[in-house]
Structures are given as structure tokens and as C-alpha cells.
């Protein structure tokens, strides 16, 4: 298997004015949690499976001990005004070149299905364990901002300062080159753990954006479990701070110091 | 040498209703030990040598100081009802893409020879030095389980939790896409050392599966040598535990915490 | 996106006897700082954008939260005798092969535009935090040295001892194979931090080379900010030296010890 | 530059019954030192330069500050009975696939020039700083051993136990597949430093093999310099041993423990 393999499962589904939502694994798995939650809670049909030699050589085992190869998948979910094409997956590409190849492939598929706008979902790493109920945005075209600001998305100049790495960023970049409208919506998250609480914040914004009424219950439950772990991490962090000798803080907040060798 | 090279050594061997067994290096070398043991103990003919630019650039030296390039090899072994095609080798692919390419190649060869079922052999890492006499299974199709349960293979929902990585996993995944029946059989092993004891457990299951009567003697001897080393490792482990400060245990057993950044 | 993508933005710009200047990210970002400063201070037109699957899969966010994909860009700047084609960028290639491919592409573009001489700008890592106001040179053809020595460039036998790694080196090597005159000009820099002070030294040389009269003000300001950080780093370094046990110094300055395994 | 580039410098050199000697950088740079010494001491003509996108993106600077791209080169040296084609270079391939591609290319060139036997030179890492005046051999065909034993080459069953990695190993492997006679000759060396003393041992064997009378003076001088450094390293090693807590020695000398995960 030297090439990506795209398997179309349903060929006769009628797709109405579709918008693509991308939720692949990434910082805090925030985007993945939200996108998978949408697929579970909405009426959804799996349209496409994508296998690739750029994914890790790995299989996953289900509750019946039956396996499947790691992949990315596209579902269609029926929403009010638009159909949502939701891209989820087990992994992002394992290689630099593979990222470009796969994101290009996803956009080819999106364009074939008539997609004109794409939202990629992700996490913004704050480095802080305390939850911030905010969603940060970045857009391929400045005109997209006002609609998103109306539903509560924050825009901050030059943020994230280190840019956006991986599929949720690259998809936006490739969209811009192709003239497709695209925005990245990021839940605030520590960056240390899977973060269903940040996913809840992001889900609220998505629901407003598409007039959806979705039960956040399962995410809430996972968030509660996670809070216990966060509490222990905070405790550990405090201990460490008391013990450690402090390195002089160099260049904090000073953009010019970011140094790529 | 830019491409894989397949050398057919014996072209006129009659192969009867063949089943493929894959035992490449991996966790505890359990699969490799069992597959090599089968090749040694059964009447076997080497059919195919596979060389690849995805293998490490390495040669091995034999007892006569004669060298050979690292490779993978397929033997045919005459068993009761089926001929066994046994794939063994010095290494797995060095690269992600190479894994997909080579596993695809192995399946091409298997299909050419009429293989309809494949068993990949591996180790399941327990993280514990104490031996567990169990074999865990995963299958490409749930219907395969009952036959394997009869001969003592255990099936546990969603286990291994992290999936199966490398050729023994990927072969199953690719088999499923091609509609070939495949199962992975894993001996329990610490994951720290080569484990002939785990290989003995796995060999017992293989013997039942194919009505084979094979001397486990050489594996037993190696297992005995290994036990001395395991004893010393356990001792060292205990010392370390007494000395080390204990990190708070975060998320043990909690699936949700597995985090791929 | 499997291939590099070259976007020509301005096709009708008249280019007069052009010389190429390359300032990509590297040691101390010295070359990047100088090249970007030239683009900002001179009348400049962006000619070309280059996107590549060998760059990291990353986008950057501007002050309006609008994104762009990481890239390399070529500007034309009108100078006295020559037009300057200035190559700047966010990143160098992520892969070994990509370095060769991209540098080859840059030279194809340069040759199409009639470039006969190329200067690559970089930093020479001294390992010392104290600033040295010197510019070191290396050339594709020894005859190039006298002109550069006149304007203050230093040439030292076999320096840098480890050669020059990355685009600023490779471009010179490929130029030599194609018969294009090329020199690398390196500001002295610690190698630990972004170094606008070293960039000032290098800028002075560039101004002499092309009879340019450029305000170094913005670089000076950044240099002043940086000095505070350097002061703190020096302090920290001293503390560390007092605390640390000293490894015997092996082979300092002895060329023969450089050992590539 | 996406492909390897072979530049033939001398096309009309008459080559008589040639034997190839390969001395690329590797363990202790033993092979490189010997091969370069042969090129310097014998009447030699540079025939071929090889550039490759698999080499590091790097240039080297000479005593006149003139640069050249890292490469591999083939010289012809006139010896008694045979012409020697000596392959030397700055680097081996940076990538796994590149190793296979380049070694294949070297053999294509060798075969074009009529080479029927190849000797690759390398170092055998002992892990001990004390010099051992021995040369270890490995061969593509057992019949080659007797001639080499006559001139003092040692052959030890299954040594080196970990095989031979890199070009000096892979060339032998590829020779075997093509039916070319090949041997690897290894000087004993610590594996920690460049080792001109080991190179002297290996040079002696090469001189006997080809009836050469070569001044080992320059190697001797470098060996003397090196001895001072070795003395200091030994001192440092002793200090460390006295201070360090001793990890239990696990599996030393026990072949079965070599574990490739």
C-alpha cells in the first residue's frame, strides 16, 4: 500500500449546501472530542473512509476484539440550514510531507461535494491548568470575523503567537490558496491533558453557529472525571514549584525571542 | 537499490491449501521466537527472500564470518491439513511508509500462493516481570473467535487498549481491507526483554491450532537462562522503588487519558 | 499538495542586472533579520511566493487574525547599480532531501531572472555571549575575496570549521556546481539567541557592498532590548560555572577530534 | 536537486584489473583515515564526484575560504598488480533509503569500471580505550578467508555480533546479491574517538594485501596527538567509575539479550 486509499461507502446521499467541520486529534483533543460528539448526537451517515501510508502502522481493537486500521473518516450530518460534513480520525499524518498530501486530499473531497466553507476545530494551549471558557478564532479572510464575533468567538491580534501547527492549521492555509473560506476555532486548554471541559466551550459556539440543539451530557461526565485528575496535577505542580530552583525567566512575552534554529 | 527485491528460490514447490504465519521482531520477540522455532522443528523449505531499502542498512555475520543482508523470508512447512507459509525476518521496516509498502507486498505474495487465512504472532506488553501463561487474540472478523477460544485464546474487549502497532497489527488491517481472514495471537510479556517463556505459551496454542507435535525443548532452555536475568531485574526494580520518590499516579487504567498530541 | 508551488505575483516587473540575497532563518536569525530589514527599508515589490510540502505544516496569524501558510518569498528591491532579489522566509526545509530540492528551485528561479551572483546571509556561532563586530566570509570562487575584503569582510582559513549547514551553505554549493558566483556572509553571534546586534554588523557590510544608505534604527532598538536579556544570561552563566563540576576539556581547537559517527 | 549527481572528471584514464576500496566515515573514522592516506601517498587521479540529496545539506570551507559541497569521490591509484579504485567521502547517507540507493549507485559505477572484488574498511567498536593491534574480517563468500588469514586478518564466528551497519556493511550485502566478491576489514577501536592508531593496524594489512610500500608517518603523528587525549579520557573514566553507583550488569555477553523492539 503505497498510496492513500479513499473508500466511498455511500454514493447516493443527497448533500445540501454542505459545510465541512474538521476535528482531528490535536492539542487537548479538543477538536476531536467536539467533532465526535456531533457525529454521535446528530443523525449521521459515514460517507468516506481514508487510509494512508502516512498514518502510523497501527490497528485498533473494538469491544468484540475485532480490529480496524487507523484511518480518517467523513460523516454527513443533517443540520438545519446546511449539511455538515464532519472529518474525524484516529491520527494525523506521521510525516511532514504526508500532512500536505492528506490535507490536500481532504480539500479535493470537500470541493467535489460542493463545500464552500470549512471550520477546523482545535485547542489553544495556555500552559495553565485553570479552565478558561473562551474560544479563540483565526480566519482565512478577515470578513469572516464579524459573524463569528457575534456568537462569542474571540479574536486576538497575532494569536496564537506560534501559529497553528498540524491539520487544523494547514487546512486553513491550503483553503486560502484555493479561495475557500475557512476558520479555525480553538478551545482554551492547558495542553497537558485531554480536555472535555474545553470541548464543552467549543461545542457551545458550534451550536450557535449552526443553530444546533445538542446534549452536552456525555462531555460533561467526562469533564467531571477529568477534574479529579486536574486537581491532582495542580497539587503536584505546587509541590514541584516549592521544591525547584527557579531558572531566570528569559524573554517571557517578548516575541523577538522566539527562535527557530 | 531503490525498490524492494523479491527473490524466489524454489519455484516448483507444490503448496497445499496454505495458511500464513507471521513472526517478525516485536514486543519481547515473542512472535519471532515462535515462528523461527516452527521453521527449525518442522520440515521446511525456504521459498522467498525479501530485501528492502526500508530495512536498516545492515548485514549480519554467521559462524563462518560470511555475511548476509538483513531481510525477511518466507518458508513453507508441511503440516497435517495445511501447508504453513511462515514469514520471519531480522527487522521490520525502518519507516512508516515502508511498513505499509512491505505489508502490502507480503499480502500480494500470500494471495499469489493461495493463502486465505493469516495468523500474525506477537507479544502483549504487560509491564510486569511476572509470567502470565495466556495468549490474547484479536481478529479481522468476529466469527473467527469461537474456533480460537476452543484452543484457549483469550479475547478481551478493547484489548490491547493502545491497539497493535507494527507489521503484526498492520497485516491484519490490510487483510480486512482485502477480505482475507486474519487473527493476531499475542503472548503476554513484560515488554522489557526477549521472552522465550511467553513464546512457549504461544507455541502451545499454535500446536493445538494446527495439530502439530513440536518439541519445545530449545525454547525451554532459553527460558531458563532468561529467568536468571529476570530475577536480577526484579531485584533491581525493588531497589529502585524503595529509593524513588513516587510521582502521583495519574489516570492509570482510565482510557480517556491516552493522549496523542 | 505533493509538489512545491511557485506563485508569481508580478509578471511585468523589469529587473535590471539582478543580484540575489538570501536571508532565511538560521543561527541567531542574523541573515533573516538583515534581509527582512532590507525589504522593509528599500522600495520593494513581492515577486514570488513559494509553498512546499517540505516546510512544517503550519500557518501564521497576523494582527487581524487572518492567517497565511508558512512560505518563502522573493522580493525585488531597487538599489543603485543592481536590482536586489531578496529571498526571505518563515522556515527552511524540514527534511534533508527537501533542502536540496528547494535550494535547487531557488537557483532555477534566480537563473530565470538573470542572476549571476548570490550572497547568502547567516550567523557564525561563537559560543560566546560577548558581541564581536566582525563579518566572516566564504566564497564559491577565491577570486571573489578581494572585493569583499575591501569592505571589511574577514576570511579565515577553514572557517567555519564545521562547514556551513542549511540553505545558506547549500545554496553556495549548488551555485558552484552551476558556475554561479556565490558568497556567504556571516555575522558573529553566540548561537543561543536571536541577535539583532550581529545583524547590525552584517547590515553595515551589505550597505557598503551595494552603496546603500539604510537606517539601522529598528535593528538598534531590538538590539537594546536584547542586551538586557544577554546581561541576564551572562549572570546565569556565571552562576552555573561556579556551581558545576568541570568536565576535562578534550580536544578543544583540535580539528582532528571532530567526529562524525 | 532531486537526484544523485555523478560527475565524471577523467574519461580517458585506462583502468587495469581494478579492485575497489571503500573508506567512508564510520566507527573511529578508521576506514576513512586509511583510504584517505592511500589516496595521499599513492599516485592518484580523481575520477568521479558524487553529490546526493541524501547527504546532509552542508558545505565545507578550505584554507582559501573557498567552499565545496559535501560529496563522495572515487580515485584511481596505480598499484603493482591492480589499479585501486578508492571511494572516500565526507558523509554517509542521512537516510535509510539513501543508504541503499547510494551503495547501489557505487556498485553500478564499480561494475562499469570492471571491478570484481571490493574491500570495505571500517572500525570494530570494542568499548575499550586500550589499543588492540588486530584487524577483523567478514566476507561475502567463505572462500575469500584463507588469503586474508595469510596476511593476518582475524576471523571470529558471528563477529561483529550486532552485524555491520552503514555503507561498509551494506556494500558487502549488495555485492553478495550481485555475485561480486567483497570483504570488510575492521580495525579494533574504542568507538569513542577518531582512531589513527587503529588505522595504522589496518593500513599494515592493506599494504600486505596489495604489495604496497607506504609511509605511515602522518598517521603515526596523528596517533601520538591522540594518545594524549586517550590518556585524559582514561583518567576521566577512572574517576567516573569510582564515583558512580554501579547498575547491575545484565546479560553481558549473552547474545540472546540483544533486543530490537
Give the separation between CA A186 and CA A222, rounded to whole angstroms: 19
D261 located within any domain: no
| Grid cell in block for residue A115 | 463545500
Q: Would you say residue A126 lies in a domain? A: yes
Nearest CA in chain A to C71: A173
Angle of CA points C135, C138, C144, to nearest 5°: 100
The burial of B91, by beta-carbon neighbours within 10 Å (0-12 exposed, 13-18 middle, 19 or more buried), is given as middle
Instruction: Mean pLDDT check: name the lowest of A197-201, A250-254, C133-137, D146-150.
Output: A250-254
Is residue A132's pLDDT more than 80?
yes
Tell me the pairing of strands C67-69 and C58-61: antiparallel
Test C66 with A141 for CB contact under 8 angstroms.
yes
Maximal CA-CA distance, chain B = 64
* Residue B165 backbone phi and psi in degrees, to 5: -105, 145
Question: Could you list the pLDDT tens digit for every one of the 261 residues in chain B?
Answer: 899 999 999 888 999 999 999 999 999 999 999 999 999 999 999 999 999 999 999 999 999 999 999 999 999 998 878 899 999 999 999 999 999 999 999 999 999 999 999 999 999 999 998 999 999 999 999 999 999 999 999 999 999 999 999 999 999 999 999 999 999 999 999 998 999 999 999 999 999 999 999 988 889 888 888 888 888 888 888 887 776 654 444 433 333 333 322
Is chain D touching chain C, with at least 3 CB–CB pairs below 8 Å? Answer: yes
Other chains touching A, judged by 3 or more CB pairs under 8 Å: B, C
Residue in C249, C243, C255, C241 with CA at minimum distance from that of residue C129 = C241
**Which three-class secondary structure state does DSSP give residue C207?**
helix
Cα-flanking dihedrals φ and ψ of residue A82, to 5°? -120, 155
Q: Cα-flanking dihedrals φ and ψ of residue B199, to 5°? A: -60, -35
What span, in angstroms and rounded, lies between the C-alpha atoms of D53 and D76?
25
Q: If we measure between CA atoms, which residue out of B104, B84, B3 comes closest to residue B43?
A: B84
C54 neighbourhood in chain A, CB within 8 Å: 96-97
Instruction: Give the pLDDT score at C244.
Output: 60
Which residues does chain B have within 8 Å of residue D164's beta carbon, measured at their own beta carbons? 58-59, 61, 67
Domain count within chain A: 1
Helices first, then strands: H and E counts in chain C: 6, 11
| Contacting subunits of C (3+ beta carbon pairs below 8 A) | A, D
Q: How high is the pLDDT of residue D255?
A: 37
The number of angstroms, rounded, from the C-alpha of D115 to the middle of its chain's C-alpha atoms is: 18
CA gap D64, A133 in Å, rounded: 62
Which residues share a beta bridge with A165? C58
Q: How far C245 CA sits from the closest chain A CA (Å)?
A: 18
Residues A91, B260 contacting (CB under 8 angstroms): yes
Chain C interface test: which of A2, A93, A256 (most C C-beta within 10 Å): A256
Q: For residues D114 and D126, what is the distance between their CA atoms, to the nearest angstrom? A: 36
State which H helix or E strand residue B59 sits in: strand B58-61
What are the beta bridge partners of residue A117?
A181
All three cell numbers of D165, joined, read 551497519
Q: Are A122 and A168 in contact (CB under 8 A)?
A: yes
C-beta of residue C257 within 8 angstroms of C-beta of residue D193:
yes
- Least CA distance to D53: which residue of chain C? C97
User: Interior CA angle at D15 toward D9 and D20, to 5°?
Assistant: 85
pLDDT (mean) for D85-90? 98
Q: Are the beta carbons of B144 and B73 closer than 8 angstroms?
A: no
Q: What distance, in Å, lies between the first and last C-alpha atoms of chain B?
A: 36
Peptide bond into B160 cis (omega under 30): yes
Chain B residues in contact with D258 by the CB 8 A cut-off are: 194
Closest CA to D136 of D117, D157, D112, D116: D157
- Quick one: pLDDT at residue C252? 37
Q: Rounded mean pLDDT of A245-258?
A: 40
Query: How many Å apart are CA C84 and CA C74, to the nearest integer?
Result: 10
Kindly state the cell numbers that stand for D220: 603515526
Q: Per the omega criterion (within 30 degrees of 0), is the bond before D93 cis?
A: no
The beta-carbon contacts of B14-18 under 8 Å, at least 24 apart in sequence, are B15/B76, B15/B83, B15/B85, B15/B113, B15/B114, B16/B82, B16/B83, B17/B81, B17/B82, B17/B83, B17/B114, B18/B76, B18/B82, B18/B83, B18/B84, B18/B85, B18/B113, B18/B114, B18/B115
- Is residue A194 included in any domain, yes or no? yes
pLDDT at D244: 61
Q: Which of A173-187, D187-201, D233-247 has the lowest mean pLDDT?
A: D233-247
Higher pLDDT, D257 or B244: B244
Buried residues in C201-239 as b, exposed as e (16+ CB within 10 A)? bbbbbbeebbebebebeebeebbeebeebbeebeeeeee
Identify the closest residue of chain A to B138 by CA–CA distance: A65
At A223, list the grid cell.
469533564
Chains near D with 3+ CB pairs less than 8 A apart are B, C
Bond from prior residue into A160 cis (ω within 30 degrees of 0): yes
User: What's C213's domain CATH number?
Assistant: 3.40.50.10900
B177–A51: do the CB atoms touch at under 8 Å? yes
Q: Assess if residue B257 is contained within a domain.
A: no
Residue D254 located in a structural domain:
no
Mapped to the 3 state alphabet, what secondary structure does C13-56 carry?
Answer: CCCCCCEEEEECCCHHHHHHHHHHHHHHHCCEEEEEEEECCCCC
Mutate to test the interface with A, among B138, B149, B159, B175 (most CBs of A within 10 A): B138
In this prediction, residues D66-91 reach a mean pLDDT of: 94
Tell me which residue of C49, C55, C37 sits closest to C106, measured CA to CA: C49
D83 neighbors D18 (Cβ within 8 angstroms): yes
For residue D12, what pLDDT is reported?
A: 87
**D169-174 average pLDDT score:** 98
- Residues in chain C with pLDDT values less than 50: 246-261
Contact between chains at C248 and D225 (C-beta distance less than 8 A):
no
Contact across the interface for C67 and A142, Cβ inside 8 Å: no
Residues A103-128 have pLDDT tens digits of 999 999 999 999 999 999 999 999 99
Q: Are A1 and B104 in contact (CB under 8 A)?
A: yes
Identity of the residue in B104, B141, B169 whose CB atom sits nearest the CB atom of A66: B141
Ordered DSSP codes for A191-244 = SSS--HHHHHHHHHHHHHHTT-----HHHHHHHHHHHHHHHHHHHHHHHHHHHS
- Report yes or no on chains A and D touching (3+ CB pairs under 8 A): no
Nearest CA in chain A to B139: A66
8 A C-beta contact, residue B9 and residue B47: yes
Among partner residues A137, A177, A250, which is closest to C233 by beta-carbon distance? A250
Smallest Cα distance from B141 to chain A, Å: 6
Identify which of B100, B103, B172 has the shortest CB distance to residue A67: B172
Q: Do C140 and D67 touch (CB under 8 A)?
A: yes
**pLDDT tens digits for range D104-130:** 999 999 999 999 999 999 999 999 989
Cβ burial of C32 (10 Å; 0-12, 13-18, 19+) is buried
Average pLDDT, chain D: 91
Q: What number of C-beta contacts closer than 8 Å exist between C and D? A: 125
Interface of B with D (CB under 8 A): 1-2, 5, 25-27, 29, 51, 53-70, 91, 94-95, 193-194, 196, 222, 225-226, 229, 232-233, 235-236
Element (H, E) at B135: strand B135-139
Q: Could you tell me whether strands A67-69 and A58-61 are parallel, antiparallel, or unpaired per DSSP bridges?
A: antiparallel
| pLDDT confidence of residue A236 | 85
CA dist B98 and A54 (Å) reads 10
Q: Complex ipTM, two decimals? A: 0.89
Domain of A103, in residue numbers: 5-245
Amino acid at each position: 500500500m503505497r498510496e492513500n486509499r479513499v473508500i466511498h461507502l455511500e454514493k447516493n446521499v443527497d448533500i445540501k449546501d454542505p459545510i465541512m467541520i474538521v476535528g482531528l486529534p490535536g492539542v487537548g483533543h479538543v477538536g476531536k472530542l467536539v467533532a465526535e460528539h456531533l457525529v454521535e448526537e446528530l443523525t449521521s451517515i459515514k460517507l468516506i473512509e481514508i487510509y494512508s501510508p502516512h498514518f502510523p502502522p497501527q490497528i485498533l481493537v473494538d469491544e468484540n476484539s475485532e480490529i480496524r486500521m487507523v484511518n480518517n473518516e467523513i460523516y454527513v450530518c443533517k443540520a438545519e440550514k446546511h449539511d455538515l460534513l464532519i472529518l474525524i480520525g484516529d491520527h494525523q499524518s506521521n510525516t511532514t510531507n504526508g500532512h500536505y498530501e492528506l490535507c490536500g486530499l481532504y480539500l479535493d473531497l470537500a470541493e467535489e461535494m460542493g463545500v464552500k466553507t470549512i471550520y477546523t476545530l482545535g485547542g489553544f494551549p495556555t500552559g495553565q491548568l485553570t479552565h478558561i471558557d473562551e474560544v479563540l478564532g483565526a480566519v482565512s479572510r478577515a470578513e469572516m470575523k464579524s459573524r463569528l464575533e457575534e456568537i462569542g468567538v474571540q479574536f486576538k491580534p497575532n494569536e496564537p503567537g506560534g501559529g497553528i501547527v498540524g491539520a487544523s492549521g494547514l487546512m486553513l492555509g491550503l483553503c486560502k490558496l484555493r479561495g475557500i473560506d475557512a476558520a479555525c476555532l480553538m478551545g482554551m486548554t492547558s495542553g497537558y491533558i485531554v480536555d472535555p471541559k474545553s470541548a464543552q466551550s467549543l461545542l457551545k459556539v458550534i451550536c450557535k453557529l449552526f443553530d444546533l440543539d445538542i446534549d452536552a451530557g456525555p462531555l460533561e461526565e467526562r469533564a467531571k472525571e477529568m477534574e479529579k485528575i486536574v486537581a491532582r496535577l495542580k497539587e503536584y505542580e505546587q509541590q514541584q514549584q516549592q521544591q525547584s530552583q527557579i531558572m531566570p525567566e528569559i524573554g517571557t512575552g517578548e516575541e523577538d525571542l522566539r527562535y527557530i534554529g
